[in-house]
Structure 1
Amino acid sequence: MKKALAALLPIAIMALFNSSCSFSLSGASTVGLKTISVEYFENTAPLVVNYLSQQFTESLKDRIRSTTSLSIVQGEATANMKGSITGYTIEPVSVQSTNSNTPPIAGAERLTITVNVTYTNTVDKKLSFTQSFSEHQDFTGEISSQEQKLITEINKQLTDDIFNRAFANW
């Protein structure tokens, strides 16, 4: 009987710890938070991609949903995330040499997406912030055949950055 109790003790302690603390195995601290409202991130960048706002907003919700126990709600919540996509740029990052009769061409280009985020934590106001996040991916060739894949990867990097800033204090 004592051996059975000794074997169950660590499990009971972990269960107690997990139920009394809002802490996930990812290291994300949501102590005191029960709900979060994630508002639609409007694309206000000079260059607009039609699906970017919806895709980014859903990526951020998915990141929160899959890593925390917070309920995503509309309206009033114990935490709120809102913002806008403020930048979508494609710039050359390297130049390919050509003959002297033609201008140089881009050897590689960089897609950069910038998002401005306001996070409000009503339980611990010191954790609230307004910050700009920017990530990029380099590519070669035509953007049209790679754009969706590049945007998906950049969205993942951005949502990781935002999530870590809000819940891991990185």
Structure 2
Amino acid sequence: MALFSGCYSFKDISIPPEVKTARINYFENKARYVNPILSPQLTDKLRQKVVSQTKLTQIQGDDAHYEISGTITDYSLTTVGIANQQSASNRLNVSVHIIFKNRLDEKKDFEADITRNFDFNANLSLQQAEQQLNETMIRNLADEIFNRIFSNW
């Protein structure tokens, strides 16, 4: 652990030393199409990542130093590749609106939208693609949210 301008920092993560607690609220799914496992798995993965990669203690109270919440705002399908006048590949677009509150420094509060695209063979049904892509979707979205909140870049 190296000290850097009053923050502890490891793996490009920078958290002021006075920040000790975080509350990660359930990520609600408000997309037109709802993948029923996306919200609970994304919330859980982000919680696991915060526990394993920071020294923050997760609490449920309103007095957490950091509060993270979000909403899945888009979960949609588009065709991205055509071969022989037929769809050859499809893209699953997933967008999450995140809200970060820093109770110790409100100037650091922010909201952001994160969108990730996941391509799959058009021969697969959406349900088959979801099964195939689920782990990658959850990991990539959790990583993107985590990096947006905890990395100084």
TM-score, normalised on structure 2? 0.87
Deviations 1:6-53 (A, max 9, x none): xxxxxxxx6xx56xx652421211112111000011110000111111
Q: Tell me by how many angstroms 1:86 deviates.
A: 0.6
Rg larger in structure: 1
Greater RCO (CA < 8 Å, at least 6 residues apart): 2
Matched, 1:121 2:92: no
Aligned-partner SS, 1:48: coil
Query: Counting helix residues as a fraction of each chain, which structure ranks higher?
Result: 1
Q: What CA distance in whole angstroms lies between the structure 2 residues aligned with 1:50 and 1:58?
A: 14
2:70–2:99 Cα contact (<8 Å) kept: yes
Segments of 5+ residues of structure 2 without an aligned counterpart are none
Amino acid at match of 1:43: N
1:36–1:81 Cα contact (<8 Å) kept: yes
Segments of 5+ residues of structure 1 without an aligned counterpart are 1-13, 98-103
Residues 164/144 of structure 1: CA separation in 2 closer, same or farther (3 Å cut): same
Amino acid at match of 1:144: Q
Query: Counting strand residues as a fraction of each chain, which structure ranks higher?
Result: 2
TM-score, normalised on structure 1? 0.79
Q: What CA distance in whole angstroms lies between the structure 2 residues aligned with 1:40 and 1:157?
A: 18
Q: Tell me by how many angstroms 1:122 deviates.
A: 1.5
Matched, 1:55 2:38: no
Equivalent positions of 1:93-108 (< 5 A) are: 93-97=80-84, 104-108=85-89
